[in-house]
Amino acid sequence: MENVHILTQRVTGRGDFLPFSAEPTRTNEPAATHELVTELQTSLVIEDILAIYAKFAKQLINFSGLQFQSTLGTAQTSDSNTTSTPYLYDLTIGKEHLGQLIYFSQYPLCSAIEKKLCVLHTALVYPLRNAMMYSRVLKLATKDALTGLNNRSQFNDILSQKLENCRRYQRPFSLMLLDLDNFKQVNDNYGHKVGDDMLKVFSEVLCTSIRGTDSVFRFGGDEFAILIEDPEFTTNKAVAERIMRLVRTSSMMSQYKVTTSIGFTLANSPDCENEIFSRADKGLYRAKASGRNCAKAY
């Protein structure tokens, strides 16, 4: 039998081998870039922007994961596998540095592919910056600047949604209100910097004490709230006990003799926002009247 030798070529950046007689599929690059720009303008969510971009970038290179790292944190496509070699690219607009786009690929990126990626990057940066600006504005509108918790505006929206679900789908929940005992004396005697640090520590205590289905809010000052996805008082008691235990074991809160008082109530189908809030507030008042550093239901 004769020896048969087939000459092959490697398709740059894809890791595939084709016979030299086969021509790799080439897209109309200007048209593809225009299509990319059009699709990127359909969303202001960073993760959506990355997913749209990844669909186009995969026509050039075979990568297993795509990340974008910025001052807002790390965003990545939903199917990202980040175990391969990372290839980092700074994304900038003029002197403004947006962040780093990271491709994870087991194949090296040649200079020709990198030049094509740079063209795609120019299409990506402006929609990405718009999404980042939207994310910052949304955070300012819904998050407490000091602690990063949801704010009062977000509480009102979520409480309204939960009451509607409670009425329509019989999905009960509970509301817990909390404040810090002796907090005013900390501010008066040690300054607002210590007071701010105290609020941050207490916020971490609350976030550690709840489940993923629950939500924590700061109204301002030392006033906090938790919406708990559970119909039983026993759950509220367990959460309250966990919070008070962590407060007792906190070195900072113990140092300044700060504790917490807690009031909670269960939602009823006929409730409106004012009714459920009033009951939880009465529970908080009972805790204060009982000597503080305790939790009371109403």
| Res. 141 pLDDT band, cuts 50 70 90 | confident
User: 2.40.170.20, 3.30.70.270, 3.30.70.20, 1.10.1040.50: which CATH number matches 152-297?
Assistant: 3.30.70.270
Residue-level pLDDT at 139: 82
Spatial separation of the C-alpha atoms in residues 153 and 142, rounded to whole Å: 6
- Residues 41-66 have pLDDT tens digits of 999 999 999 999 999 999 888 999 99
Average pLDDT, the chain: 88
- In the chain, count H helices and then E strands: 9, 11
What does the block give as tokens for 107? 């194949």
pLDDT of 233 higher than 90: no
Please check whether the domain covering 8-142 is classified as CATH 1.10.10.10.
Answer: no
| Res. 33 pLDDT band, cuts 50 70 90 | confident
For residue 47, what are the CA distances in angstroms to 66, 116, 117, 185, 223? Answer: 10, 22, 19, 45, 33
pTM over 0.85: no
Domains of the chain, residue spans: 8-142, 152-297
DSSP assignment string, 243-255:
HHHHHHH-HHHHH
Spatial separation of the C-alpha atoms in residues 193 and 182, rounded to whole Å: 16
> Which class for 286: exposed (0-12), middle (13-18), buried (19 or more C-beta within 10 A)?
middle
Residue-level pLDDT at 28: 64
- Residues 255-291 have pLDDT tens digits of 999 999 999 999 988 889 999 999 999 999 999 999 9
Q: Do domains 8-142 and 152-297 have the same CATH topology?
A: no
